[in-house]
């Protein structure tokens, strides 16, 4: 009788251990590869977005030169230039489009476009969600790293599972990578610093332990 009791107790402990292990696996979720350290696009060119301001300079025509905002619908309006789409274009592309419009009124216009504000389109912004101190979106800058992002958002909260944060990389078909934010911020492990790419979404989960 005692042998049977001991056997049942052993089976119960085994089942409890299996259940605990299953719970840990379910909480851990999928495992993603670590994000590559180098990710910047060397030939990246800034793309204009809603909220930017563009300074239009028309050579030898100061009356046509002015600074205008890019409206929420992505368009701009300027003297002789009405309802022209700016969002999604580079400054050079927008300059050529303005030259084409002004060519109806001005002989051989030469236009230069300079951007201010630097918001960029949504598709290019870095978005930070979850357990960041200040979740927000950031305009992308060449050679921008995860440390730069963390400085802007104020780091992670005390409840963050920083070493299981992930980057959703929209430029690579929504492929996900793991980043070690806790090691980077709390331990100063510079090997955990990685470059970000335009359109990256940083997801910082909450720790369950």
Q: Is residue 8 part of a domain?
A: no
Total tally of structural domains belonging to the chain: 2
Q: Is residue 18 part of a domain?
A: no
The whole domain housing 73 covers 53-116
CA dihedral over 168, 194, 88, 49, signed as positive or negative: positive
- Is the same domain home to 200 and 175? yes
Q: Is residue 66 part of a domain?
A: yes
Q: Is residue 26 part of a domain?
A: no
Quote the radius of gyration of the chain (alpha carbons, Å).
26
Q: Which residues of the chain have pLDDT under 50?
A: 1-27
* Tens of pLDDT, residues 45-60: 999 999 999 999 999 9
Q: Which of 89, 116, 143 is the last residue of a domain?
A: 116
pLDDT of residue 28: 52
How many Å apart are CA 122 and CA 166, to the nearest integer? 19
Query: Which string of DSSP letters, residue by residue, matches 14-28?
Result: HHHHHHHHHHHHHHH
- Is the same domain home to 81 and 175? no
pLDDT of residue 29: 57
Read off the CATH number of the domain in which 188 is found. 3.10.560.10
pLDDT of residue 26: 39
Whole-structure pTM value: 0.81
């Amino acid at each position: 009788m005692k042998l049977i009791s001991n056997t049942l107790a052993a089976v119960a402990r085994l089942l409890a251990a299996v259940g605990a292990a299953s719970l840990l696996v379910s909480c851990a979720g999928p495992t993603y590869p670590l994000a590559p350290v180098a990710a910047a696009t060397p030939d990246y060119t800034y793309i204009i977005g809603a909220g930017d301001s563009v300074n239009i300079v028309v050579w030898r025509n100061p009356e046509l030169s002015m600074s205008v905002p890019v409206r929420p619908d992505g368009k701009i309006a300027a003297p002789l230039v009405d309802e022209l789409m700016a969002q999604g274009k580079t400054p050079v592309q927008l300059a050529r489009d303005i030259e084409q419009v002004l060519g109806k009124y001005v002989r051989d216009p030469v236009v230069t476009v300079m951007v201010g504000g630097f918001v960029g389109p949504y598709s290019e912004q870095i978005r930070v969600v979850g357990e960041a101190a200040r979740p927000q979106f950031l305009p992308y800058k060449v050679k921008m790293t995860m440390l730069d992002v963390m400085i802007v958002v104020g780091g992670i909260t005390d409840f963050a599972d920083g070493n299981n944060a992930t980057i959703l990389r929209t430029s690579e078909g929504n492929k996900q990578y793991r980043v070690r934010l806790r090691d980077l911020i709390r331990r100063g492990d510079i090997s955990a610093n990685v470059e970000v790419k335009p359109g990256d979404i940083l997801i910082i989960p909450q720790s369950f332990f």
